[in-house]
Amino acid sequence: MTDRRLTGKVAVITGGASGIGAATAQRFVAEGARVVIGDLQDAPGADLAAALGDAACYRHANVAREDDVAGLVAEAVDRWGRLDVLFNNAGFVGATGSFDDTSEAEYDLTMNVLLKSVFFGIKHAAPVMRAQRSGSIVSTASVCGLTPSIGTHLYNVAKAGVVMMTKSLALELAEFGIRVNCVCPGYVATGLAAGGSLTDLGPEKTAERLATTRARMASSQPIQRMGEPDDVAALVTWLASDESSWITGTAQVIDGGLTLGKPWRKQPSTVTVHRPLAGA
């Protein structure tokens, strides 16, 4: 990359040790940013920061704990003197199974990791950005927050909460030059899509499950491939950059057309399929 759209900017990325977070950290540094990577996965996080050099550092963080999230913001300010971008990305599948079998502890953990963490991030990033009168906050929501037929109940509810938190806080923070947006990915080739959560499946099991998921997605949505972490990282990088300076309060869908429905030729047979005219 040659345009270096994030030169001089400082960013915090939660869930930055793998998947979408790691791909975004790599893009941010390539675009000229300095990055604090926060995660529970200490070895991968430290390895990634080392590979990125002086432009990155790793800090252990459980995003369900406010002090840990505040510590990521403080790390950025202490180390580099400012904070221009916050990417609230950390997440996991959360409570699964029947709704009436979900325990209070499972409910609390799911909401804490997927929704409360976003609140913590914005709460602690906003004062720094207000003082600068500039900043971009991006959070990972999901198409599951827009339509209830894809994810599990609490995951859907939490991601819908991220979408509404984005819109509501964008209103308050706009006058301070702070933009707040979220991205809504569909199925992306990460450990999460492979059925992982906070527990590492291991490289072989993850690869096996991803291969199965890739094959299924190749024929079930209009753009017939699974998303890659770098697809989402590219969108987040744009939202972090000044190129999107007139964009706030949006939920950017990036799903290969998943929410549109089945591919055109798999629609009910009553749909007219327009074919090229003879000789065209």
- Tell me which residues are annotated as active site: 142, 155, 159
For residues 60 and 6, what is the distance between their CA atoms, to the nearest angstrom? Answer: 24
For residues 229 and 204, what is the distance between their CA atoms, to the nearest angstrom? Answer: 19
For residues 131 and 140, what is the distance between their CA atoms, to the nearest angstrom? Answer: 25
Contacts of 101 (CB under 8 A, 6+ apart): none
For the record, the structure tokens of 14 come out as: 């939660």
Determine phi and psi for 226, rounding to 5 degrees.
-75, 150
Helix (H, G, I), strand (E, B) or coil at 85: strand
Encode 136-159: b = buried (16+ Cβ within 10 Å), e = exposed: bbbbbbbbbbbeeebbbbbbbbbb
Q: Are 141 and 89 in contact (CB under 8 A)?
A: no
For residues 175 and 242, what is the distance between their CA atoms, to the nearest angstrom? Answer: 16
For the record, the structure tokens of 190 come out as: 């990460």
